[in-house]
């Protein structure tokens, strides 16, 4: 098959443009990924901020019980020895703490849904 000299010249001129378009598409894809990453990071920061706000509603003893249970992975017996309270009090503190966090979280979710 015979192609004219003009075709080859046109193809040679178009080839770099195609490369630039492919690079631009790749950059746009990366920008979308960066944007999605930043949005996800903002969402996580917002969730973390809300959790910290709700965590401030807890008493010192409730915070201590949660910390010992979930960060130190201690059982109720160990927590009761450390805090100097009985096992039932540990259960009550943990349950109250979880209810406070859960209820405040649900209220904020409902408010968001109402305003959206």
Q: Return per-residue pLDDT of the chain as tens, 116 residues.
A: 444 444 444 444 545 555 556 666 665 566 667 777 777 777 777 777 887 888 899 999 999 999 999 999 999 999 999 999 999 999 999 999 999 988 888 777 666 656 55
Is the CB of residue 93 less than 8 Å from the CB of residue 61? yes
Residues 6 or more apart in contact with residue 50 via CB below 8 angstroms = 105, 108
- pLDDT (0 to 100) of residue 35: 76
Which tokens hold the place of 31?
Answer: 């920008």
Which tokens hold the place of 3?
Answer: 């192609």
> Shortest CA distance to 96 belongs to which of 59, 68, 47?
59
Dist. CA 97–CA 65, nearest whole Å: 9
Q: Classify burial at 79, counting beta carbons within 10 Å of its beta carbon; exposed 0-12, middle 13-18, buried 19 or more.
A: buried
């Amino acid at each position: 098959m015979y192609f004219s000299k003009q075709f080859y010249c046109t193809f040679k001129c178009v080839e770099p443009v195609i490369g630039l378009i492919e690079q631009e598409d790749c950059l746009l894809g990366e920008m979308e990924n960066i944007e999605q990453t930043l949005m996800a990071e903002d969402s996580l920061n917002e969730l973390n901020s809300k959790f910290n706000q709700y965590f401030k509603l807890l008493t010192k003893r409730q915070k201590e019980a949660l910390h010992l249970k979930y960060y130190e992975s201690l059982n109720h017996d160990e927590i009761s020895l450390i805090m100097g309270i009985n096992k039932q009090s540990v259960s009550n503190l943990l349950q109250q703490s979880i209810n406070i966090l859960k209820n405040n979280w649900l209220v904020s979710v409902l408010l968001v849904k109402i305003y959206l």
